[in-house]
Amino acid sequence: MDTGGPDLSGRVALVAGATRGAGRGIAVELGAAGATVWCTGRSTRGQRSEYDRPETIEETAELVTAAGGQGIAVVVDHLEPAQVADLVARIDGESGRLDVLVNDVWGGEKLFEWDTPLWGHDLAAGLRLLRLGVETHLVTSHAALPLLIRQPGGLVVEMTDGPADYNAVTYRVNAFYDLAKVAVGRLGFSQAHELGPYGATAVALTPGWLRSEMMLEGYGVTEQNWRDATAAQPHFCISESPRFVGRAVVALAADRDRARWSGQGLSAGQLAQVYGFTDLDGTRPDAWRYVLEVQDAGRPAGDEGYR
């Protein structure tokens, strides 16, 4: 499909954790650019994961195909090395290459307790959060990177929450959540050092305030009327669709000079200013600048000058 945007025809991507949220948005945008996208997750039409939500990995793959790419759904638990190894072997056998790896597995929304100290947090839930949010990324990269480096030019995107400079000085929710997000950001940095000699790039990337399915449902709105939620939470005015960070990944994948970003912690809003892409509504929300200058500074909500 010719969208007039970046062309990733012939490229092969793996989006680990593509069932919903940012993972789905990234997968669909890669598809819109013409890529073959392997979409993994645990929720299917036949069985839901512990999230117990209606989104399925098959739906994501169908959205990728409808957007112009080729979506392939594979049920994978990324905590199981054998399942991930089988996935990579299948990608190699059917696609013969891997150009983009997006480590987006998270699974922690129902596990963390807001502003609860380490000693007061449910230990099993906190450790499960770390396994889902960090160990899955390590398992997936361990299996997939040998295929990705087979030819130069590969891209690894570690999905996190918050740019590196913000997370370095800001306590994030609780010790378990904070550690998970900082660790994933650092993983982008460490992989960049290991991949550089093979001509591959690794970054950490964060969306802003993501209008995920769970977030929209929580506020009782849809993507069409999401601004109604600002009555309850005024700072929601700076939120962005999952497709916005998807366009950030596409821009990186299409940039022949992407190595200039290697090892950095980036945001979708930051990259939009460089590459010129917009969200679905034609705006460029710069969420993390807004967080620093408006939300954290205690100023009245309002996105003027930040879109």
Please tell me the pTM assigned to this model: 0.95
96: pLDDT strictly greater than 50: yes
- CA 105, 109, 110, 115 torsion-angle sign: positive
Query: Which tokens is 203 given?
Result: 């970054």
Taking the C-alpha atoms of residue 191 and residue 151, their distance in angstroms, rounded to an integer, is 16
117 three-state secondary structure = coil
Q: Which of 45-49, 115-119, 248-252 has the lowest mean pLDDT?
A: 45-49
- Is the domain covering 12-295 a CATH 3.40.50.720 domain? yes
Dihedrals phi, psi of 102, to nearest 5 degrees: -115, 110
Give the pLDDT confidence score for residue 53 in this predicted structure.
85
Taking the C-alpha atoms of residue 153 and residue 159, their distance in angstroms, rounded to an integer, is 19
Q: Taking the domains of the chain in order of start, what are their residue ranges? A: 12-295
Q: How many C-beta atoms lie closer than 10 Å to residue 280's C-beta?
A: 14
Give the pLDDT confidence score for residue 52 in this predicted structure.
78
Query: Which tokens is 1 given?
Result: 């499909």
Q: Which residues of 200-218 are buried (b: 16+ CB within 10 A; e: fewer)?
A: bbbbbbbbbbbbbbbbbee
Name every residue whose Cβ is closer than 8 Å to that of residue 239 and which is 6 or more positions away in sequence.
208, 209, 210, 211, 215, 226, 285, 287
Give the confidence band of 4 by pLDDT, cuts at 50, 70, 90.
low
Give the pLDDT confidence score for residue 1 in this predicted structure.
40
Dihedrals phi, psi of 122, to nearest 5 degrees: -60, 120
13: pLDDT strictly greater than 60: yes
Taking the C-alpha atoms of residue 123 and residue 107, their distance in angstroms, rounded to an integer, is 16
As a whole number, mean pLDDT of residues 159-185 equals 93
Element (DSSP H or E) covering residue 272: helix 268-275
As a whole number, mean pLDDT of residues 59-66 equals 98
The mean pLDDT of the chain is 95
Instruction: Say which residue the tokens 């992989």 belong to.
Output: 191
As a whole number, mean pLDDT of residues 266-275 equals 97
Half-sphere exposure of residue 37: CA atoms within 13 angstroms, side-chain side: 42
**What share of the chain in percent tops pLDDT 70?**
99
What's the pLDDT tens digit per position in 108-122?
888 888 889 999 999
